[in-house]
Amino acid sequence: MFWRLRVLAFYFTLSLFAVIMGLLFCLPVYFLNLGYNVRYKIAEIFSRIFIFLAKLLCGIKYQVTGIDKLPQDGKPYIVLANHQSFWENLFMQLIIPKHSWVLKKELFDMPVFGWGLRMLNPVAIDRSNSRSVLQILTEGQKKIEQGLPLIMFPEGGTVKIDRNVKFKPSAAKLAINANVPIVLIAHNSGVFWPKGFWFRKPGLISLRVLEVISTKKYEDHDVRTLTDYIEERINKEKEILVRLASG
């Protein structure tokens, strides 16, 4: 019961901040059509509030290793990470410089959070649409040409900590076509932030930046090979992190 009260306090406080920020910032942004930098800063502030409240009220801390591996030349790249929970959606705002996303269109329907997402104009795809891959390649290319790093979850959705799924090849294909590096990230957020409203387990989420892959030597016929390597690398590290946290 104690932890349920803490989780309830988390959602109540977060909702309060969301309403306040919506009234003070999001509405002016919408009606005044303010630029992307302003919109992005608002999203970053909300993400920091989310992570802070998760730590304060739910006891969920975090540890990041390998952050120095992120490209520092100011050029765009694609970030690929495993997807276990809602937590990493917000946390990525804190560690990846100004970026964009490839995400599921239905996230726009979420109250408050979805409205904020729409404000950032990500690449929003409908997985049931057979043209979604083409959309990723065309709109993703445009984001990269704008100089924005792009974050993608190649599993295609959240996956339980004890499961592995086949990675989708669209991210590798986009990276090869755009000739940009791929940053691999693994984490164990699902141990502490699983699906469901109530259960939040206090503890330390570990997130690791694993490596940066240059795509210069790859061609279209290498997409599946590269995707398989990415899948093996991320899943192997994810399993280690989950085991350590569950230990």
User: Does residue 35 belong to any structural domain of this protein?
Assistant: no
Is 184 within a domain?
A: yes
The total number of structural domains that make up the chain = 1
Q: Closest Cα to residue 223, out of 179, 159, 171, 158?
A: 171
> Rounded mean pLDDT of 197-223?
93
Residue 196 belongs to some domain of the structure: yes
pLDDT given for residue 240 in this prediction: 98
- Domain holding 97: CATH number? 3.40.1130.10
- Residue 162, pLDDT > 80, answer yes
Domain that holds residue 66: 60-246
Confidence of residue 112 (pLDDT cuts 50, 70, 90): low
Is residue 108 scored above 90 in pLDDT? Answer: no
pLDDT, tens only, 11-42: 999 989 888 887 777 677 777 677 888 888 88
The stretch 214-220 carries a mean pLDDT of 96
Decide if 30 is inside a domain: no
Question: Do residues 75 and 180 lie in contact, with contact meaning Cβ atoms separated by under 8 Å?
Answer: yes
pLDDT digits (tens, 9 = 90+) for 67-88: 999 999 999 999 999 999 999 9
Is 220 buried (19+), middle (13-18) or exposed (0-12) by CB count in 10 A? exposed
Res. 1: pLDDT tops 70: no
